[in-house]
């Protein structure tokens, strides 16, 4: 698999045609700070959830900016930041092949099994 990726955008991690990174190869981004994705745990017991992205020169600055941009109103108690280029995603063109097999295995779902009504607690 050949990958030629110049720059990464949130939600755009593949190498397909007509994605954001194919849109305009001549852009000037030489001095731009790298892009980071921000994940926030809103309260104890819940998963970290993607909330958006931001630019920062390094991880320390990304953490400070994430705090200022995404948690001004008690939105979180824990922040993860990941440089966008480190996120890999499936190609949406392959989504059918990738996710379809689950659909024909209906016996994986409890509703597949017909059981007598008098059976309780199951």
Partner 1 sequence: MGINLEEQFQQKIDQEIKIEPKDWMPQKYRHTLIRQISQHAHSEVVGMLPEGNWISRAPSLKRKAILLAKIQDEAGHGLYLYSAAETLGISRDEMYEQLHSGKAKYSSIFNYPTLTWADMGAIGWLVDGAAILNQVPLCRTSYGPYARAMIRVCKEESFHQRQGFESLLVLSKGTEDQKRMCQEAINRWWWPCLMMFGPPDDQSPNTIQSMQWKIKRFSNDELRQKFVNMIAEQIKILGMTLPDPDLEWNEETMQYDFGKINWEELKQVIQGNGPCNKERMDARRKAWNDGEWVRDAANAYAAKHSKQL
Q: Which residues bind partner 1 (CB under 8 A)?
A: 7, 9-12, 14, 16, 18-24, 27-29, 31-33, 35, 52-55, 57-58, 61, 68-69, 72-73, 89, 91-92
DSSP string of 53-111, one letter each residue: EEE-SSHHHHHHHHHHHH-TTS--SEEEEEEGGG-----GGGHHHHHGGGGG-GGGSGG
Min. distance of Cβ 44 from partner 1 in angstroms?
Answer: 22
Considering the complex, state which of residue 89 and residue 122 has its C-beta at the smaller distance from partner 1. 89
Considering the complex, state which of residue 28 and residue 111 has its C-beta at the smaller distance from partner 1. 28
């Amino acid at each position: 698999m050949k990958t030629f990726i110049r720059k990464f955008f949130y939600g755009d991690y593949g190498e397909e045609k007509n994605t954001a990174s194919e849109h305009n190869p001549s852009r000037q981004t030489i001095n731009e700070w790298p892009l980071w994705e921000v994940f926030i745990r809103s309260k104890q017991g819940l998963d970290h959830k993607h909330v958006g992205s931001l630019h920062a020169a390094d991880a320390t600055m990304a953490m400070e900016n994430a705090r200022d941009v995404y948690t001004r109103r008690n939105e979180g108690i824990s922040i993860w930041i990941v440089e966008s280029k480190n996120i890999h995603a499936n190609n949406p063109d392959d989504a059918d092949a990738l996710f379809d097999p689950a659909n024909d295995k209906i016996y994986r779902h409890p509703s597949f099994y017909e059981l007598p009504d008098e059976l309780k607690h199951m």
